[in-house]
Amino acid sequence: MENCACNTCDAATKKLYEKAKSERIDTIWDRALAMQPQCGFGEMGLCCTNCSMGPCRIVKISEDGPKAGICGATEDTITSRNFARAVAAGAAAHSDHGRDIALALYHAGDKTRIRNEEKLFKIAGEWGITVEGKDTVQIAREMAERALGEFGKVFGKLQFLQRAPEKRIKLWDELGVAPGAIDREIVEVLHSTHMGCDADYRNIIRQAIRAALSDGWGGSMIGTELSDVLFGTPMPKKVEANLGVLKKECVNIVVHGHDPTLSEAIVLASRDPELLELARKQGAEGINVVGMCCTGNEIAMRQGIPMAGDFFQQELAIVTGAVEAMIVDVQCIMPSLATVAKCYHTKLITTSPKAKIPGAIHIEFNEQKSLEIARRIVKDAVMNFKNRKVEVFIPDDKSEGRIGYSFEAIIKALDRVTNSFAHPSGTVKPLVDAIKSGVLRGAAAIVGCNNHRQPHNTCHVTLAKELLKRDIIVVTTGCGAHACIKAGLMDKDARKYCGKGLATVCELLDIPPVLHMGSCVDISRILVLLSEVAKYMGVDISDLPVAAAAPEWMSEKAQSIGLYAVASGVYVILGVPPAVTGSENVTGYLTKGLESVLGGRFEIENDPVEAAAKIAAHVENRRKRLGI
């Protein structure tokens, strides 16, 4: 970190950071700077606090320091335990999200609250739920029960594992990593990483893989699929992005967090004529709901709600002075928001019993009374419009992009290039042909968070541009998606960054070269797409010319995502090293050894240009292996 604390390529972020500075408000960058230097033992994963004999640390830099913890745990044991616990926490976060969606489906109550019957029937078919003679609500309830069972069923494997290619399913079975019940796998990691339990780093990572797979093919996939059933499957639409989407003359409501049950209800409530009238009475022109982080992605994908910003921009949204209410639920919500909000009129409203913040107003949300509660929250925001304190400053930076690329939307786009006399429709064939012919060299996913260890957004954007010019199509989710749309990479104009092959594909399919596939749980959509392509080609996911990268990752969820991608056969580049570098064995296992076991592996590379070169090399290597 250099002296200039705010290291970003985004203009709006820079401007608002300056405003925060002038108003003496500390933001993420200032706190990161104050934290320097950070603890080397923690950074390398060599610190263990799992029992009260500790904390213990392994000293690597000198000969005479301790080489084992008090219990005798080695650096291999300690780093792998720390990593496994991070993965379990990440899997737990996604899975609890999935559980809430399943509960919302269970309580849907009437048919009008299920917006995508087609998908409901499709999943019912997949799960062997009979639909004859049952009404929609009944089927939904039965599916929700089955989904909830996935979290704690006693026997059997996860339902959605069946979506993987046959070879992958077989491999998981052989390795003993096919997850049973989601909660069970997470508990098992916590058990085996308890003091005096599992000390074999390979076995500890094996447990972590089960937990991670129970996220990707369990919790996250349930979250995505059932969200689609409840709120509709995303289809292409235009949206605006960046903090410039806040409107000075309107009541601005920022929804931030992850769970779409809350944000969807807020969107509905904001369109209520009574509340709109109330807003006008307060002197506002209307109610402007904008989204932040993943819940922002969810309502952008489905409702076209503007994407206000990413993880690092949450405090800055309040610094504009134009936010009447920031409504949050769970995950990636900085507790500092309460402190920042106090300097303005902004009401920070927490809604989940799982995530309260001292200094925030807590209005508990529940799925059964969602609209009622949402109306109350929106009303609070409207009544707060008159209380603006400081001069409002909304940077004029915003960009536009086309988003909404669910798996289903991608298939629909691919149908544009099928010839009705020569080809079937509704398949991944055109994508496979584009890849096999070499028009597209491969595909890469850019996902993940923001992290002060990497320049904000720069890594996401640079990596994406480097891949596009090599004819590698990019899919993105989460805060990677926010970075890409802000940089204009979801605009038609972004074809100028592409090689001839990718530009041609974009033109024929009428798509941007970077496809926004949704929130972080929606990475499950990428798993579905990879599986369908692999199945169509008759190969495993690990054979495909594809890769993933999390250039600015920070959360435990990102570690779970990274590991389930690796365990699904994907080559995954991390821009920030996980806290395992204290053990050569564990680092070597994750970055090399796993490939011979699972076909996927991690790579640590903080330079996005280098990362792109590595992805391109991997892609070409896989092409060669496939003979294409």
Give the binding site for other proteins (CB under 8 A).
414, 417-423, 430, 433-434, 436-439, 441, 470-471, 499-501, 504-505, 508, 620, 623, 627-628
The nearest distance, CB 414 to other proteins, in angstroms, is 8
72: helix, coil or strand?
coil
CB of 421 to other proteins, least distance (A): 4
| Cβ nearer to other proteins, comparing 273 with 627 | 627
CB of 617 to other proteins, least distance (A): 13
Q: Is 449 a known ligand-binding residue?
A: yes
Establish whether 197 is an annotated binding residue: no
Whole-number Å distance between alpha carbons of 261 and 271: 16
Nearest alpha carbon to residue 528 among 123, 8, 70: 123
What is the rounded CA–CA span in Å between residue 346 and residue 503? 44
Backbone region of residue 133 per phi and psi (left: phi > 0; alpha: psi in -120 to 50; beta: other values): left
479 annotated as belonging to a binding site for a ligand: yes
In this structure, the dihedral spanned by the alpha carbons of residues 208, 99, 260 and 371, taken in order and rounded to 10 degrees, is -160
**Least distance CB 493 / other proteins (angstroms):** 17
CB nearer to other proteins: pick between 153 and 436: 436
When the beta carbons of 239 and 434 are compared against other proteins, the nearer one is 434
Minimum CB separation of residue 467 from other proteins in Å reads 13
Residue closer to other proteins by CB (options 296, 430) is: 430
Annotated binding residue 506: no
For residue 12, which of 243, 241, 337 has the smallest C-alpha distance? 243
DSSP 176: T
- Dist. CA 443–CA 600, nearest whole Å: 15
Is 39 annotated in some ligand binding site? Answer: yes
Rounded Cα–Cα distance for residues 264 and 255 (Å): 10
Closest CA to 302 of 237, 219, 367: 237
Q: Is 373 left (phi over 0), alpha (psi -120 to 50) or beta?
A: alpha
Cis peptide before 260 (omega within 30 of 0): no
In whole angstroms, the minimum distance from the beta carbon of 436 to other proteins comes to: 5
Distance CA(369)–CA(226), nearest Å, equals 19
Q: Which is nearer to other proteins, 33 or 508 (CB)?
A: 508
Give residue for tokens 């240009």: 609
Q: What SS3 class is residue 391?
A: coil
Please name the amino acid found at residue 68.
A
Is 4 annotated in a binding site? The answer is no
Nearer to other proteins, 337 or 472 (CB): 472
Phi-psi region of 117 (alpha: psi -120 to 50; beta: other; left: phi over 0): alpha
Nearer to other proteins, 328 or 503 (CB): 503
Nearer to other proteins, 330 or 502 (CB): 502
Q: Does 6 appear as a known binding residue? A: no
Cβ proximity to other proteins, 211 vs 475, nearer residue: 475
CB of 514 to other proteins, least distance (A): 19
Going by C-alpha positions, the residue among 410, 618, 374 that lies closest to residue 533 is 410
Does 332 show up as a binding residue in the annotation?
yes
Residues 486/242, Cβ–Cβ less than 8 Å: yes
Residue reference for tokens 């044991």: 77
Name the DSSP class of 18. H
- Tell me the C-alpha distance between 615 and 628, whole Å: 17
Residue 428 CB, nearest distance to other proteins (Å)? 11
Instruction: Compute the least distance from the CB of residue 438 to other proteins, in Å.
Output: 5
520 has binding-site annotation = yes
Binding residues for [4Fe-4S] cluster: 39, 47-48, 51, 56, 71
Binding site listing for [Ni-4Fe-4S] cluster: 258, 294, 332, 449, 479, 520
In the annotated binding site, the residues are 39, 47-48, 51, 56, 71, 258, 294, 332, 449, 479, 520
